[in-house]
Structures are given as structure tokens and as C-alpha cells.
Amino acid sequence: MRTLKTRRALRAGLATLAITAATGTVIAVAAPAIDLTVRGGANRNDGDQTKDVSQSVIGGRARNVILLIGDGMGDSEITIARNYAEGAAGRFKGLDALPLTGQYTTYSLNKTTKKPDYDPDSAATGTAWATGFKSYDGAISVDVNGVPQKSLLEEAKAKGLRTGNVSTAELQDATPAVQAAHVSSRSCYGPIATLATCPEAALENGGLGSITEQLIDTRADVTLGGGAKTFDEVATAGQYQGKTLKQQAFERGYQIVNDAAGLAGIKRANQNQPVLGLFASGNLPVRWVGPEALSDGGKKAPVRCTENADLPANQPTLVEMTNKAISLLDTKRNGPGFFLQVEGASIDKQDHAANACGQIGETVDLDEAVQAALAFAARDGNTSVFVTADHAHTSQIVEAGSVTPGYTVNLLTADDAPMTINYATAAKGSSMQHTGTQLRIAGYGPGAANIVGLTDQTDLNTTIRRILGLGTKRS
């Protein structure tokens, strides 16, 4: 447990960062009134930071860990979103507030040769931090030989901690799935796909079942996201054969909600009554939309993003899901701690679609969730927070008003200046590719200093296990 002195140091480390658990944002705001033409005008530091940084370096364990993942959120995606929403000299109140930062490598392994695959997918990268094992693209918490390996969420639950898994994607998608399931291919969402693609995992073949069936079995205290469609599939074997997976979850004691009002009405979550929020048939719709990237898009007049008119009014936001998950998992120091993973999924999905406004809005969405996590951590004094991504992506800032061999779009930022964004890793109409660069990782709280410098994605697993005391006897 943290001492009073350490808790005060943790709170002090965030005192100057003006963290607020925001619930919304305007699409473009005025950039800070800063004279960038003078010496030091663009400085981000305010005086010597040595004391502030030293106060942020705290060893030992924490009761709780919150891990936030921006899927596909490389440095380029963060910079694009910051430029647009806050201005070039601006700062995100969440993503840019964590006091300790580093970089980590993300390569996966070739399943046959066991050599590095330099451009990984979300399944292999998620498996790396969830289990500590490098694996192949498509693997969901199995190692390169196909052997299931325990996830952080499973280990935390086994130790008696409370657990949560939140995403704006389908809950069967790679990032949430790596904490709850073990299959050879990420596409094995339900019994139908599992029989066809992962027959060794099918219940009728003695396997663990599809991703959705395993998610129900894993039984996190709080599970929130999309993917309701797969829960309508019927079990083809096992105790619940002939019943839908949703009916199975209900009969096994889950509190199932499908909108923001239903989620707000939940008062408690535990192993007797875990919460399952299914807020969309597939992935949750994004908050912002804008112009399509075109071969000549950079030459067009710069425009601003707009709110997504098709965003359901009753869909909970990522920050609302994050705040609710924290409130349900937190036992106010009188009970066990918790492990919570939160994913902003559609930064990646909109980058694949070359949709700049979509990916920017989802980055802002994640920033709000980070603010909520940090606000709780500052109050609690015994929580570590980590923010990172699974892999880098396509989008790049290029010369304003230019065109490239790829596809470009021209946006008007908070600086009231044009920003041209380029997508050039696939043909028009195809899915833009991931890229293989190292990624930013940021942390706050006990043990966060272990992410400073250059680490690997698997180091994050080791760091979180050490902070929570996983792998030791249940306390």
C-alpha cells in the first residue's frame, strides 16, 4: 500500500496539469495565444522540470492499474489530432499530461520462421502486452506455437482483483479479445467462424470455444463495447447448445445493457452480477466526420470536421464508459484493487479508411478517457496509468496544399491554418496499411518509470505484473 507521503507525491505530480474528466469537446478551438516568433515562444517547459520529474518516479506496487490503448495511434496520429484540436503549440489535457514517457518496439513474429515481422497487427501486438509473449499476426493470446498464455486480466482475476475491459470496437476485436480469449485466429468471433477457421478451439472439438464464448467464461466484472451481432449467434455445443450467446450470458448472471441510460442505471458489478454492455451491432460509430481523402484533396480549400449526425444519442461515449467502469471497479480502498483496459479502437479503423476527421475525433475521444483515468488516479493516490498504442499507422502530415502519389485531405486547424494529411500505403478503396515504427508509451504512478527510454511491448506486461504483484500468492 502507498504511504501518505507517497500519495501526496503522486497527487502533486499531477497538480499542475489541470486534469479534468471532460465529457465533450468542440470540433476546433482557438489555439493558445502564444507569440511563436520570439525566443522560447514555443517552449513547452515552464522552468526546470527536474523536481517535477523526480516526484513522478515512484517505485513499488499500486492497488490499481488502468491501461489505455489508442489502436493505430502512432506519433503521427497524435500530432495530427493535436494540431487540429489544440493547435501546434497546444497540449492535450490527457495524452500530453502523463509525466513519464518512452518508446517501445512492436514487431511480431513470423509463425513459420519465428523471425521478426516488422509490420504487426493488433492481435500480435495485443498478445505481447497481454501475455508477455511475442506471437504471429492474428494470434489472440497464444504464443507462436499456438499455446494459450494467460493474460493480464486473467492473472489479475486469479489474484482476486476486480477486472474491466472497455472498447469502442466489437468486444471480439483483437485488442479487447487478447485479455479474454485464446484462439489461433482473430476472426473466430463466434461458433460459426470458429468451426470454419479455428476448429481446434470449437467446443465440439474439446476447445475453449469462440472468442465470444471465452469472453463469457472469462467473466470480467465489467465488459463494455460493441459486437452485439455475434452474441446473437447460437451455441453449437456445450451446456448452452441451441441457445444464443446473449441468452447464455443472461442465464449466467450477467447484467446486460445496451444504451447509455442502461449503463448509468447499473449500481454494482461483481462476479455474481458482472456487467456486459453491448452498445452497437458492430463497432461503435465515430464522433466526427469530414471530407474524403482524394488524389487531389490537398489542393482543395481547407475545411473543419463536423459532428457525426448518425451518432446515436443513446450511445455512451468512451469517457462515460471509462468513468463508469472505474466507479464500478473501485472499492474505495476497502477491498481488492483492479485492472482495467480501455481501448479507443477507431483511430486505427478510420486510418485504414483514410478518414482524417474520423481518426482525429477518436483520438480526442481517447484523450478524454485518459483525462478521466488520470483524474481518478490523482484522487486515489494508489493507481498507475499507462497510455500507448498497439502499432503505428499510415497518416502523415505533408506540405500544406500539396498532393502526393497517395491520397490527401486539407483541414483547417485550431491555429486557423491549413494542414494537409497524406495516405499512401494502399490503392484507393483498399485498406491503408499499418506501419512498423516504434511507439510512444506514457505512464503515471508507481512503477511508471519502467517505461522510460526504449523498451519492448512485452516489457509492459512485465511492468504491470510487477506493479500488481501478479504471479505471486493471492493476497
Residues 414/427, Cβ–Cβ less than 8 Å: no
Q: CB 27: neighbour CB atoms within 10 A?
A: 18
The dihedrals phi and psi of 242, each to the nearest 5 degrees, come to 90, -10
Q: Is 32 exposed, middle or buried (0-12, 13-18, 19+ CB in 10 A)?
A: middle
The helix (H) or strand (E) run that includes residue 169 is: strand 162-170
The string over 394-429, giving b where at least 16 C-beta atoms fall within 10 Å of a residue's C-beta and e elsewhere, is: bbbebeeeebbebbbbbbbbbbeebbbbbbbbeeee
Strands of the 255-257 sheet, one edge to the other: 255-257, 275-278, 222-226, 162-170, 338-344, 64-70, 383-389, 439-444, 100-105, 453-456
Residues 71/343, Cβ–Cβ less than 8 Å: yes
Give, as one character, the DSSP assignment of residue 188.
-
Report which of 152, 93, 62, 61 is spatially closest to residue 380, judged by C-alpha positions.
62
How does strand 162-170 pair with strand 222-226? parallel
Report which of 390, 65, 321 is spatially closest to residue 168, judged by C-alpha positions.
321
Residues 31/86, Cβ–Cβ less than 8 Å: yes
Amino acid at 210: S
From residue 168, give the alpha-carbon distance in Å to each of 69, 82, 227, 323, 343: 11, 21, 10, 14, 7
Let me know the angle formed at the C-alpha of 445 by 451 and 124, rounded to the nearest 5 degrees.
40
Active centre residues (catalytic): 122
The secondary structure of 86-101 as a DSSP string is T-TT---TTTTT-SEE
Give, as one character, the DSSP assignment of residue 140.
B
- Name residue, grid cell 496520429: 77
